[in-house]
């Protein structure tokens, strides 16, 4: 403002500028907060058709899956009259469109995801008692993967093509390639059977949490480390990093203050994706370590063809994935100032 006034040959009132600067700054900040609020509201509104579409697709797939829910609930040795009465009671004899509309309406407005034919209880009740366990398992697995994966990727990017980088690349390839159930079985044999250091079942104490968390986070550590390495290598070659080093700044300051914040966008993206995938991947881990979570509940429901439980569990994972992506998109604007919210 001062330069423009001087170029125009007009007198500069420094007192006026100093008085109006705070008000101008507040106006800019208020506009930024308003833009962020509009962005959040728009993203939340966009989630509504996505979630409704997921519900419709899930219901359609399971509706046309072979198998009669009435026979699954009542057993094979049951009369035809009992089957017809069961179908009429639960609305299974209504047209497909009517059943779909009723399912979506009850789920959205009444949080009613149906009734488990095998467990003889509401699906919402069964999920509510198991969701905290699955979220706890996935959360600590993501935390452990991030704590190990990001520093490992940073070190490998700084020491590119070194022996440590080669060993880490080999270990990460093994981590991505090994199935979760195989990793879990090996850990149980090593630390529970032979060494007898850690329990092989449960998820209530710290010692019981170690093996499931390590098992679930194995592939996530490898993926986060690889993405961190590639993202850091791209940033380290930038001109402003070379300028920071030329100014004599310490290497730790260059890496942590200049390189890492600008490399966080792809890292944060892959961490959020891993969180959603770990929620779904907990099915095998919970089954191996006998953890009473959503994954184990869905596995039991699949074996017994309990379709309402399968619908509810899959819907929970889908909604959680959407909410995680929403949270990460909002964090982008705070982490990287180059991203403008409109």
The answer as to whether 5 is a domain residue is no
The answer as to whether 272 is a domain residue is yes
Reported as a single tens digit per residue, the pLDDT across 24-54 is 556 656 666 677 777 778 878 888 888 888 8
The answer as to whether 339 is a domain residue is no
Question: pLDDT class for 12, splitting at 50, 70, 90?
Answer: very low
Measuring CA to CA, how many Å separate 20 from each of 13, 24, 28, 61?
Answer: 11, 6, 12, 62
Task: State which residues form the domain around 281.
Answer: 131-292
Reported as a single tens digit per residue, the pLDDT across 143-162 is 999 999 899 888 888 888 88
CA atoms within 13 A on the CB side of 110: 10
Measuring CA to CA, how many Å separate 43 from each of 37, 302, 337?
Answer: 10, 33, 19
pTM of this structure? 0.77
Question: pLDDT class for 18, splitting at 50, 70, 90?
Answer: low
The backbone torsions φ and ψ at residue 79, rounded to the nearest 5 degrees and listed phi first, read: -75, 160
Q: How many domains does the chain have?
A: 1
Element containing residue 327 per DSSP (H, E): helix 307-335
User: Which CATH number does the domain housing residue 191 bear?
Assistant: 1.10.3720.10
Reported as a single tens digit per residue, the pLDDT across 84-121 is 887 787 777 788 888 888 888 888 888 888 888 777 78
* DSSP tag of 162: S
Question: pLDDT class for 2, splitting at 50, 70, 90?
Answer: very low
Q: Which residues of 299-321 are buried (b: 16+ CB within 10 A; e: fewer)?
A: bebeeebbbbbbbbbbbbbbebb
Please, what is the average pLDDT of the chain? Answer: 80
């Amino acid at each position: 403002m001062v330069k423009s006034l001087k170029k125009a040959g007009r007198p500069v009132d420094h007192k006026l500028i100093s008085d109006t600067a705070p008000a101008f700054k507040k106006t800019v900040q208020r506009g930024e907060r308003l833009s962020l609020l509009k962005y959040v509201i728009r993203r939340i509104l966009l989630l509504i058709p996505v979630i409704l579409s997921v519900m419709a697709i899930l219901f359609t797939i399971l509706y046309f899956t072979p198998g009669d829910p009435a026979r699954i609930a009542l057993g094979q040795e049951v009369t035809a009259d009992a089957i017809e009465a069961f179908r009429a009671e639960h609305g299974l004899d209504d047209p497909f469109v009517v059943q779909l509309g009723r399912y979506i309406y009850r789920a959205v407005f009444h949080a009613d995801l149906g009734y488990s034919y095998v467990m003889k209880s509401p699906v919402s009740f069964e999920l509510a008692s198991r969701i905290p366990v699955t979220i706890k398992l996935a959360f600590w697995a993501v935390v452990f993967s991030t704590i190990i994966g990001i520093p490992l990727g940073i070190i490998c990017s700084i020491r590119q093509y070194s022996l440590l980088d080669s060993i880490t690349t080999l270990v990460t390839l093994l981590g991505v390639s090994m199935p979760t159930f195989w990793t879990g079985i090996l850990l149980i044999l090593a630390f529970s059977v032979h060494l007898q250091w850690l329990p092989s079942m449960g998820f209530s104490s710290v010692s019981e949490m170690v093996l499931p968390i390590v098992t679930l986070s194995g592939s996530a550590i490898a993926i986060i480390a690889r993405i961190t390495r590639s993202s850091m290598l791209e940033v380290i070659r930038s001109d402003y990093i070379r300028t920071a080093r030329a100014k004599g700044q310490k290497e730790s300051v260059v890496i942590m203050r200049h390189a890492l914040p600008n490399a966080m966008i792809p890292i944060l993206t892959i961490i959020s994706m891993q969180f959603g995938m770990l929620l779904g991947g907990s099915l095998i881990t919970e089954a191996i370590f006998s953890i009473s979570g959503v994954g184990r509940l869905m596995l039991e429901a699949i074996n017994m063809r309990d379709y309402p439980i399968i619908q509810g569990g899959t819907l929970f994972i889908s909604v959680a994935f959407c909410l995680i992506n929403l949270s990460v998109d909002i964090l982008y604007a705070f982490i990287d100032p180059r991203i403008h919210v409109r």
